Amino acid sequence: MTDTAPSLGPLRGLRVVEIAALGSAPFAAMMLADAGAEVLRINRPGQHTDDPGILGRGRTALSLDLKDLHDRDRALEAIDHADVLIEGFRPGVMERLGLGPGTCLNRNSALIYARMTGWGQDGPLAATAGHDINYLALTGALRSIARQGEVPVPPLNLVGDYGGGGMLLVIGILAALYERVSSSTGQIVDAAMIDGTSLLMSGIWNRKATGNWSGEPGTNSIDSGSHFYNVYRTADDAFMAVGSIEPQFYQRLLLGLGLADADLPAQHDRAQWPAMKDLCARIFRMKTRAEWTLVFAELDACVSPVLALDEAVTDPHMQFRNTLVRGDRVEPAPAPRYSRTPGTAGGRGENTEPAETLMTRWASTVRAAPATIRTGQH
């Protein structure tokens, strides 16, 4: 599919070269493309990136063998005219390819050289392999996600790869672009999933610092230790999610469960949490998920049905906001949303513009772009 119409997103005119990798880096590039950036993805010949249809949406793709001198020079030509370079290799790989920050910044001093790794660019583990679960393991995040007495549960790859990885990289890129407005100079962004995961744990570290967090998983208010922040099985073996933390929501939870007039212990009596969890579990087992959804529909108690992926597509609120875009496949819509310059999910895939056309245009035109994204090379 080819779509050469200029994007209306807030990053329109921003030029990004993405050296194709896995997970976090393509997610960051997707977010930039969704927001209007022009992203040229450089693939290895024959390379198949993960989920190319969604994580690769809105890009122009170009196959280059970066170990070949001619192809490397072509990559450098694109980087010369780019605002941002994104790479997600282990430390030293780009340098060995002749595409390290020293080379690229010497040619394009305004370039934001964005590096995405798991362990970071330095440190004892920097050169070693790892995945989302490994970064969570070392930061304490994984050990904190467990019911009492049970093994930790990997939270998919949401925390390291996407939240603590790709989104962290996007924040770093945008911050560096903002700083470039005053300095007219680029810099290196070192985004590490171990750092981003730790940053996402700020609230837990705060609770620990104030004495409000137990080191034993599954005994705290928001880690399945309490009865008012938990998941319960229903009569039809589905689930309801309860997040009734504040007193007003807790009272409405009790009302919905038929316990408003019961003689119960105080909400935050930790010694009684196991017994209260058992009581709530028995009550939730008495009705189906649909019945409980109706019970709590008007109570505003922070109680929600737990939906499967296919069910999320047809949820009325999700449909109203078009949070999931439905076409030949289902995919998340661009986020966040902008009032004047809405983002778009590009051409729903790669090849939004032929690579040769894009590179020629980059090299031969001077953009009428805001100073916030214009480099000294244009």
Domains recognised in the chain with CATH numbers: 15-200+328-364 (3.40.50.10540), 239-305 (3.30.1540.10)
Does the pLDDT at position 373 exceed 70? no
Active site residue 161: yes
- What pLDDT is stored for residue 229 in this prediction? 98
| Residue closest to 104 by CA, chosen among 188, 190, 183 | 188
Active-site position among 161, 195, 223, 378: 161
Active-site position among 51, 131, 190, 315: 131
pLDDT band at 120 (very low <50, low <70, confident <90, very high): very high
**Considering the entire predicted model, what is its pTM?**
0.91
What angle in degrees, to the nearest 10, is found between the helix axes of 193-200 and 132-139?
50
- What pLDDT is stored for residue 376 in this prediction? 43
Residues in the chain: 378
Which residues face 175 on adjacent strands?
none
- What pLDDT is stored for residue 4 in this prediction? 41
SS3 for 187? Answer: strand
Active site residue 237: no
Tens digit of pLDDT for each residue in 47-76?
A: 765 555 789 899 999 999 999 999 999 999
Tens digit of pLDDT for each residue in 145-194?
A: 999 999 999 999 999 999 999 999 999 999 999 999 999 999 999 999 99
Q: Are 67 and 77 in contact (CB under 8 A)?
A: no
| In the chain, beta strands by DSSP E | 15-19, 38-43, 59-63, 84-87, 112-117, 187-192, 229-233, 239-243, 303-305, 324-326, 330-332
